[in-house]
Amino acid sequence: MNVGEAIVQGIIQGLTEFLPVSSSGHLAIAQHVFGITEDNLFFSVMLHIGTLAAVVGVYIKLIAGLLKEFGLMVKDIFTGKFKWSTMNVKRNMVVMLIIGLLPLFLLFLPIPGTDMNLKDLADLFAKSGFFIVVGLSLLVTSCLLYAGNRMNKRTTELYERKKSGNNKGMPGRKRYNVADAIVVGLTQCVAAIFPGISRSGSTLAASEMRGINKQVALDYSFLLGTPAIVAAALLEGKEALFPDGGEKVSIDYFPIIIGMVTAALVGFFAIKLFKWLLRTDRMYIFILYTAIVGIIVTVISVIELSTGVNLFHPDQFLVF
């Protein structure tokens, strides 16, 4: 891999990781179109670290405040001063993030009758023979974004009817409850299995359908994804450097670092862009985009399944 390829992949990762179009889905599309059959796992891990840096860059003050509140909460728990009913906004966010992360453990549950777990399905669906899964999943993303957008508009309309005088604020609830966190956490699990279902888009939509304010929902979505990125980097990093417990792999770090920095910079501006588009009610851009790409991929997949070969590379048979 050269520097140019690293920059291109860094741009794609930075954009698709945070915009609600599914980074895993676009990666699967790129691999299918260009006939890529092998993944550079270490490079993928480093790109995710780059996107993690983007989240920290945008939310550094909020993350610092939540970490401080987490420390205070632990202290209160051990001193018997913790009270669920008196949690402030930051403590509520900390607790709900923890609850929202719990469903991720479901990904490691074994599938009865197989030697696979739910996490393994993501790798299986990314293969060329399951290209149709990407198309259908993108259509699901479009539907979720549409449903979330419609519910948000309804929440806004109800807010406009009820507010009085000079009352100002943001439509929708500002705090999550346990049910909200579990629903969003389960949604994140599903997005991790199916390439094409956007993690940020689906979790945002789930929150909006629960009546959460859209900007609070987006912040929660990005923060919820941060520990998942860290866990993936730790788990996959060792496998990438020491595959199957073998010797350390020789790696050219320069293009990898360039790709990681590119992903961080592009990701930073992608988050800012997403927040602006959401605030100005331009989510229809992503609803239409994922619908159009989903239809195209699905049609191509149906044709390929009927012929058994990759349309872009006729010499390659579909791999299941």
pLDDT for 173-197, tens place per residue? 999 999 999 999 999 999 989 999 9
Cβ-proximal residues to 241 (8 Å cutoff; 6+ apart), any chain: 42, 248, 249, 251
Q: What is the pLDDT of residue 318?
A: 64
User: Domain total for the chain?
Assistant: 1
Whether residue 172 is predicted with pLDDT greater than 80 in this model: the reply is: yes
Q: What are the residue ranges of helices labelled H in the chain?
A: 3-18, 23-34, 41-79, 89-101, 118-125, 131-162, 178-193, 199-209, 214-241, 253-279, 284-307
Residue 197 DSSP label: S
Q: Compute how many other C-beta atoms are within 10 angstroms of the C-beta atom of residue 85.
A: 4
Q: What percent of the chain has pLDDT over 70?
A: 87
Note whether 261 and 43 are within 8 A (CB): no
- Which domain, by its residues, includes 87? 3-317
Report the sign of the C-alpha dihedral through residues 274, 280, 281, 285, in that order: negative
Q: What is the pLDDT of residue 267?
A: 94
